[in-house]
Homo-oligomer: A and B are copies of this chain.
């Protein structure tokens, strides 16, 4: 199947869209590459294909307040009709938006830069960290993904492991995965144990005479397998990083904006006393419009200004981007989606835990709010990722018009990060279908075993 984002015309002959015979830029991958879906419409938590079939979207965390939310669409349209220019002129929207965002954050994070994508945000965070500290090196968590830009592939083990390998200025600490990692649910203090691993990395960096600019981590590692770091981990890490002269960057691109239910920001799950030095935002904050943001402290911003080199982003902070961002915040508030995520998420977790009790393939159910992972395993003793089975579940779910996907280094963790309007009925429906698929899988395995037992 032809990949859309690397569409091509070759040899002067105009090809039909998505010809069967031509595989174009395979660098840009579709979901369900064997049998891709052509989606033509979206509304709330639903997507519709060209035949009008309705799919339940369990994975799109960009359409945060729901696909094509009318208030967000209207805000974009109203501003688009009036003015959409760069931030070289004064405009109220950018001030209002910075003000509204600041109300959700600890007081210390009071300077805002606006950009077009989470990747641009993480790249700026890297520049800010280096300028402020005068250091160069970065510590990241294993399996992390921080974006598609050159500088971010360098700090994303998920990417660089398959490419040029690890740069000498990048240092990888173990993922604080209490299900499959070094220290597990039976450890008395996994937060401390994982933080000591970071301390070890910091020490070894310093022994080499190198200097740490930043520790980057998603507040909840997503590509790493929907991981919930033990509370208190970030505080201890921040101590080690600060002692080395570095800053703590919390990447909230996939997980912020009320998704975790209990809090507006996922880093707040670590405890009231934790405040990152830099927070990066993207994806959800524009509900599909390219908007991103970096929030930081006055001290970091002042060091960046001191270079005398200006920062200019052509589209970042435009009146339209900010109008869209403001509308998303309005909808979150008006529809109380953070509280909704908390209650629907708890309900879904409870249903999934019942599934775990019923189906041995489910090794772990973890999550908070509408950020949930279902870790499929071969057997409980080894916790070996059930990769093929996870893929099979995803493709059977698709036949049932449910869009789900996997994450984690073993590609075996079913991930839930739906639009925030995902309902209790949606949760019941998804789990019922999953139950049927897993039950059917188990029956097939049993009949194969029966066959093997027969002479």
Task: List chain A positions with a Cβ less than 8 A from chain B.
Answer: 1, 3-12, 14, 17-18, 24-31, 36-42, 47, 60, 62-63, 67-68, 70, 73, 76-77, 80-92, 94-96, 98-99, 102, 107, 110-114, 116-120, 123-124, 126-127, 148-151, 153, 159, 162-163, 282-283, 288-290, 298, 301, 304-305, 307-318, 320-321
Closest Cβ–Cβ distance, residue A398 to chain B (whole Å): 12
Instruction: Tell me whether A39 and B94 are in contact in the complex, defined as CB-CB below 8 angstroms, given that A5-B113, A11-B107, A151-B150 are known contacts.
Output: no
- Best-surrounded residue of A124, A282, A289 (most CB of chain B within 10 A): A289
Q: Do B151 and A102 touch across chains, with their CB atoms under 8 A apart?
A: no
- A314 — which chain B residues lie within 8 A by C-beta? 62, 117-118, 282-283
Instruction: Tell me whether A85 and B67 are in contact in the complex, defined as CB-CB below 8 angstroms, given that A10-B298, A313-B148 are known contacts.
Output: yes
Partner of A107 from B12, B98, B162 at Cβ < 8 Å: B12
Q: Do A112 and B290 touch across chains, with their CB atoms under 8 A apart?
A: no
- A151 — which chain B residues lie within 8 A by C-beta? 149-151
Partner of A28 from B8, B81, B119, B312 at Cβ < 8 Å: B312
- A67 — which chain B residues lie within 8 A by C-beta? 83-85
Closest Cβ–Cβ distance, residue A118 to chain B (whole Å): 7
Partner of A84 from B42, B112, B163, B313 at Cβ < 8 Å: B42
Q: Do B107 and A84 touch across chains, with their CB atoms under 8 A apart?
A: no
Q: Do B91 and A318 touch across chains, with their CB atoms under 8 A apart?
A: no
Q: How far is the CA of A81 from the CA of B90 in the complex (A)?
A: 29
Q: Do A111 and B6 touch across chains, with their CB atoms under 8 A apart?
A: yes
Q: How far is the CA of A44 from the CA of B202 in the complex (A)?
A: 55
Closest Cβ–Cβ distance, residue A26 to chain B (whole Å): 4
